[in-house]
Structure 1
Amino acid sequence: MSTILIADDDGHIREVVRYALQKDGLKVVEAADGKQALERAREHRVDLAVLDILMPELDGIEVLRALRQRGPLPVVFLTSRAEEIDRVLGLELGADDYVVKPFSPRELVARVKAVLRRARPAPKESAAPEHLAWRALRLDLERHECRWDGREVQLTVTEFALLATLLRRPGKVFTRDELIDRAWGPGIAITDRTIDSHVRRIRKKLADAGATEAIETVYAVGYRLKDDNG
């Protein structure tokens, strides 16, 4: 059973989220502010954190930075302003997803479960590769590691899922809807802006490691991994 940390200073929101997650079979621990969120994360083996951006003591972004220093914990942000999306997804450390208040508990549960699926290694199949490669880029699907020329590239679970999708078919143009289906699953409403923010972060991280021309934009269609044979 996965354990979810909910951090929000609004007790009613915590109650609604807790009920929805527990109803779906997930274990929940709660925090009323950022400082308490870090304490709960130390006390429990947390699989994913749902963080409000505006919290007392430490805000959600400060909590995210502290959590990521300990390891690649998946994070879903709660935000009351849609214009914060780029700020949330464009952070150096990056959130995996976000939900804008007011939100449907069912939608939040669906997004949490989608991120959890991406965070788990895929079940082994005899024909399924354990690694994906392109030039000096290597993705270890079992360890959830990304490296360029041996140098580790820190990706969120969402960024990893999107990059793995592109690496499986170099040269193929994936529409944003196709990327959403593969990274989040069908039936979840994700904006083009969200996909673009994630791809922008992947590009920057790869460029910082030395891979400057990996992902190409196909205007009005989507994205593809550059095909060296094309």
Structure 2
Amino acid sequence: MATLLLTDNETSFRQALAKRLEEAGYEVLQAGGGQEALDLYRRHRVEAVITAVLMPDRDGIEVIQEILGRGQATPVLAMSGGCALCGLDIGKLAQRIGARRVLEKPFTADVLLQALEDILGPGSRGIPSSRGEARHAA
């Protein structure tokens, strides 16, 4: 079973996604912000990171840079609500720095699950993890 790190400061959205991912057979670590995500990433081995881009403490761009800047091959999926007011294409920026996929909010659980299978490979939900250290964190 693949272990995922899911980061989003919108608690109800994050918890709903985590529940759906768990129902699909993934183990999910949750973080409410970028710094918490990086702390969890350092303590646990995960097969993929799903992160919101815009967050108040450390944003998703910093999370992606920190993870991929360590030479890690962990696939990252970025979630963006867009940034029409700031005039930036946050999704393109996330991809330029290494996110494998960017999903624009709102998206369905099926779209997320398909994106995960695309970056992790078919059957990623059913593969037992030898990591043994996956825990749920709020």
TM-score band, normalised by shorter chain? 0.7 to 0.9
Does residue 100 of structure 1 match 2:104? Answer: yes
Match of 1:77 in 2: 78
Which structure is larger by alpha-carbon Rg, 1 or 2?
1
Q: Matches of residues 157-196 of structure 1 in structure 2 within 5 Å?
A: none
Match of 1:117 in 2: 121
Structure with the larger RCO, 1 or 2 (CA within 8 Å, 6+ apart)? 2
What is the distance in 2 between the residues matched to 1:85 and 1:42?
25
TM-score calculated relative to the size of structure 2:
0.79
SS in 1 for 2:30: strand
Match of 1:28 in 2: 28
Match of 1:189 in 2: none
1:42-76, Cα deviation, whole Å (9 max, x unpaired):
12111100000011221001011111133111000
What is the distance in 2 between the residues matched to 1:19 and 1:5?
13
Q: Matches of residues 49-64 of structure 1 in structure 2 within 5 Å?
A: 49-64=49-64
SS in 1 for 2:67: helix
- What amino acid sits opposite 1:105 in the alignment? A
CA contact (8 A) 2:51 2:76 kept: yes
SS in 2 for 1:107: helix
CA contact (8 A) 1:20 1:106 kept: no
**What is the identity percentage for the equivalent residue pairs of Structure 1 and Structure 2?**
29
SS in 2 for 1:72: coil
What is the distance in 2 between the residues matched to 1:12 and 1:20?
12
Question: What stretches of structure 1 of length at least 5 have no aligned partner?
Answer: 121-230
What is the distance in 1 between the residues matched to 2:46 and 2:22?
15
Shift of 1:33: 0.5
Match of 1:88 in 2: 94
TM-score calculated relative to the size of structure 1:
0.48
- What amino acid sits opposite 2:9 in the alignment? D
SS in 2 for 1:25: coil
CA contact (8 A) 1:16 1:105 kept: no
Shift of 1:105: 1.2
What is the distance in 1 between the residues matched to 2:18 and 2:46?
14
What is the distance in 1 between the residues matched to 2:90 and 2:55?
15
What is the distance in 2 between the residues matched to 1:32 and 1:88?
19
Match of 1:146 in 2: none
Question: What stretches of structure 2 of length at least 5 have no aligned partner?
Answer: 84-88, 125-138
SS in 2 for 1:15: helix
What is the distance in 2 between the residues matched to 1:61 and 1:85?
10
